[in-house]
Structure 1
């Protein structure tokens, strides 16, 4: 399986001199096409930095990040913005919907920003897959939190991105709703062949992934395939994540 995203010896240092903080230390990782990877670690372990570097939201201090065959290092902000808009999907803890726009308008916003025509058949399929067919004309205030996150997932998929990055995508949701959203992400991988990389602190969320990467002090210290929430929680406890 080819890696959609690969990091090679990626380091990220914030600040200079005495105040410098190494958020990532020579991290190498690959995210295969059609896979679901969870990234876990204690607070301050570098999870979000890893996600931001992999997604082209942040530039590594050293090392290489590739999206498909494209090296991100050395790209200017304009080219990175264009690349993210066309080739990467994002789902954050905050739903980041535009309150004045309908569900459909929110979903198609990335296409409008990129000046790309909407593929109506694809839009219809996505709206149905995320379970929003009856809500297309609603505004965010008329939706539950779970429905708003479904809109965000649909928006992330509408450009047919090579990879979808999730930063604590279920962090603001109650347990039952979170499970619905996680099941949807799992279905996006299994049914649509999408690649998902998700940062989470929740062992239940991580159990939906194929692989879990564990970070500590800016390094990948372990990897788990076929995770269960129990095994993940136990491994996190050994990392000193929860005392």
Structure 2
């Protein structure tokens, strides 16, 4: 089970303390305290401009916060050089995005092997086959992206993220470009990876049904934590989001009024 900052934090895979991120006058994150326990699946939701994608970027080491701390596996990111931060992302963090970002000239197997090659490591065929087998695509290793459906392409992207056996998998709207049936297949796979292999997963989504696959949903409003749900159902998530959006109706407009970029 995931924990809040006030609970036991001994098993936290990712820990955020007093996290702040500003873009000019716009405050995207405003003192966020959160823990994400090892082997759990957390969804992050909020109205447009709430800071959820900014939180994901800071937690994953893709963006440097303006204040506070981020720790991944007990390693505080603020003290790392750009080189060491890059190495940590390659070795301990996996990413899946709405866009599949597969190279069209490469086969599925070659796309999956790419992170290891970029890290200067020679991927074994067995490791690549195993990564594809984990997402149910062992028989598609030789196919190029144009020969795969959208759902299969996202599974290849997921296998690519998992090839390094990351401590944490970050997913930013991973089903946003997929149809309903395919989305559910990908979400079921993410859930299975948590249950079967203990894969710590943090996912940003706007979809209450997607969030219902998680162990916990954390809600953000104006860059601050605004409640959470344990063992969420799609109906409970949708009702909570409806309340937040009614209460945050002027938030995005206020950000625009100061001439800043509205963070997601």
* TM-score, normalised by the number of residues in structure 2: 0.88
Match of 1:169 in 2: 174
**In structure 2, distance between residues paired with 1:146 and 1:68:** 30
The reply to whether residue 43 of structure 1 matches residue 48 of structure 2 is yes
Between 113-122 and 93-102, the greater mean CA deviation after superposition? 113-122
**In structure 1, distance between residues paired with 2:245 and 2:100:** 30
Matches within 5 A, 1:128-143: 128-143=133-148
8 A contact 2:130–2:138 mirrored in 1: no
Matches within 5 A, 1:98-137: 98-137=103-142
1:57 to 41, 62, 71: 62
In the TM superposition, what is the alpha-carbon distance from 1:120 to its structure 2 partner? 4.3
**In structure 1, distance between residues paired with 2:194 and 2:121:** 24
SS in structure 1 opposite 2:15? strand
8 A contact 2:109–2:129 mirrored in 1: no
Between 129-138 and 171-180, the greater mean CA deviation after superposition? 129-138
Matches within 5 A, 1:78-93: 78-93=83-98
In the TM superposition, what is the alpha-carbon distance from 1:119 to its structure 2 partner? 4.8
Q: How many residue pairs get matched? A: 239
Deviations 1:19-65 (A, max 9, x none): x1100000011111110000000010000000000000001100000
Q: Where do 5+ consecutive residues of structure 2 fail to align?
A: 1-9, 250-264
8 A contact 2:21–2:30 mirrored in 1: yes
Deviations 1:87-128 (A, max 9, x none): 100000000001111000100100111122325444333211
**In structure 2, distance between residues paired with 1:60 and 1:190:** 31
Between 115-124 and 35-44, the greater mean CA deviation after superposition? 115-124
8 A contact 2:129–2:141 mirrored in 1: no
Q: RMSD of aligned C-alpha atoms?
A: 1.4
The reply to whether residue 226 of structure 1 matches residue 231 of structure 2 is yes
8 A contact 2:168–2:201 mirrored in 1: yes
